[in-house]
Amino acid sequence: MRIRTKGQGQELAMLLPALIFITALIVVPFLLSVWFSFTDQRLVPRPIPTKIIGTTNYERMFADPLFWQAIGNTVLFALIVTPVQLAMSLGAALVLNSAIPFRGFFRSVAILPLLLPMTVIVSIWAVLFRIPSGPFNAIYQWFAGSGNYVDFLGNPSTAMLAIVALSAWATFPYQMLIYLAGLQDIPQDLYEAARLDGAKSWQRFRYITWPGLRNVNIFLLIITTVGALKLFTQVDILTKGGPNGATTTIIHYLFKQGYATQKIGYASAVAVFFFLAVTAIALLQRRVLKNEGEA
């Protein structure tokens, strides 16, 4: 069936359902957050009325050392987990795209982490990190001798790295599937031509595969970064932001302020800041990558 366009009206009519939902579920709540961030709004109705308090929430936020610690932790997490995860998923995609035996089986196994809810994955990893003799520490004791152990989650210098390891493993198959689709999109005759010209496998990757994945890379870099900045579940279950704030992330900080202490106004200020920061990072990434491609 062919759809004939009848000018602007029809396009608008097609956009309308999505526009209504996006407005109601994203735009309006965001504008409400902006409004609440200038008030002392609480979670539950109170006998004293909500007041407009100007920029007090923002001033307190910028004066709170834990907020800055949360920003530092979140940025650190994103900076480590994004390249690690993309390298893992690209590597896995390349392997699963080549002619290995039992390819179908390995492809199925590789996406298993995606089938588990994050809460389940985190609970399993909590057991792996157990002290003094959980599985990871059992391996450590092979090298370091019995009686030694590392409290991965209880030590400020290792807690964030532990969460990085778990997070990278838990969601890399998603990126891997997208890389796989990207690899299938690269025309095979390019590889054949390269082989005739005597290109080595590294050269084929460097001059055909990598440029061919450019758009996939841009897309994955942005969604992986944004996803990393939203880190919450792993922290809330494993460490509650501890030890001593070492794993507090912006979203966990926001959650504690909004629900544990019921300060919706303050949490809204954190949310507005977070939204602006993430938008700026995503736009910056796009711009840099686009220019790079055109250079």
Partner 1 sequence: MKHALYAGVALAACAMSSHALAGQLTAWVIDGDSEKPYFTQLEESFNAEFGAGGVTVDVVPIPSYNEAIQAATLSGDLPDVIMVDGPNMASMAWTGTIQPIGAMLDPAILNDLLPAVLAQGTYGPTGEVYFVSPYDSGTILWGNRAMLEEAGVRIPTSVDDAWTRDEMAEALKKLAALPQVEWPLDVKMNYGAGEWMTYGFSPFAQSNGGDIIDRQTWTAEGTINSAANVNTLTTFQDWNKAGYIVPASAGDNKFYGEKTAALSWVGNWMWPAHREGLGDDLVLIPPPAFGDAGPISANGGWGWAVPTASTNLEDIKTFLNFAMSSDQVAAYADTTGYVPSRTSAIPMSETYGAGGAGEIFAHLAACCSVVRPVHPAYPVITNAWATAVVNVLSGDVDVKAELDRAAQTIDQDIADSDGYPPFGQ
Which residue, 174, 138, 169, 131, is CA-closest to 153? 131
User: Crossing angle for the helix pair 56-63 and 264-294, nearest 10 degrees?
Assistant: 70
Centroid of chain to Cα 148: 34
- For residues 45 and 198, which CB has a smaller minimum distance to partner 1 in the complex? 45
- Interface with partner 1, residue 128, by CB under 8 A: no
Q: Interface with partner 1 by CB under 8 A: which range of 105-113, 188-196, 235-243, 277-285? A: 235-243
- Provide φ and ψ at 39, rounded to 5°: -125, 175
Chain center to CA of 74 = 10
Q: Which of residues 153-172 bind partner 1 (CB under 8 A)?
A: 153-154, 156
Q: Is 196 in the site for partner 1 (CB under 8 A)?
A: no
The smaller minimum CB distance to partner 1, of residues 40 and 220, is found at 40
∠ CA 67-68-70, nearest 5°, is 65
Q: How far apart are CA 171 and CA 175, in angstroms?
A: 7
Q: Which of residues 94, 151, 186, 282 is near partner 1 by CB under 8 A?
A: 151
Quote the least distance from Cβ 18 to partner 1, whole Å: 20
- Smallest separation (angstroms) from partner 1 to the CB of 60: 8
Using CB under 8 A as the binding rule, whether residue 244 contacts partner 1 is answered as yes
48 forms part of the interface with partner 1 (CB under 8 A): yes
Q: Which of 129, 222, 250, 116 is nearest to 170 (CA)?
A: 116
CB of 81 to partner 1, least distance (A): 21
CB of 134 to partner 1, least distance (A): 8
The answer to the question of residue 104 lying near partner 1 (CB under 8 A) is: no
Cα gap 147→170, rounded to integer Å: 30
Q: Can you tell me which of 90, 264, 270, 272 binds partner 1, judged by CB under 8 A?
A: 264
**Using CB under 8 A, which of 230, 243, 277, 281 touches partner 1?**
243
CA angle 63/67/72 to nearest 5° reads: 120
Contact segment (CB under 8 A) with partner 1 among 88-96, 196-204, 227-235, 242-250 equals 242-250
Measure Cα distances from 166 to 169, 216, 227 in Å. Answer: 5, 24, 14
Nearer to partner 1, 7 or 65 (CB): 65
Contact present, 293 and 225 (Cβ < 8 Å)? no
Which residues lie near partner 1 (CB under 8 A)? 28, 32, 35-36, 40-41, 43-48, 50, 126-127, 129-132, 151-154, 156, 240-245, 256, 260-264
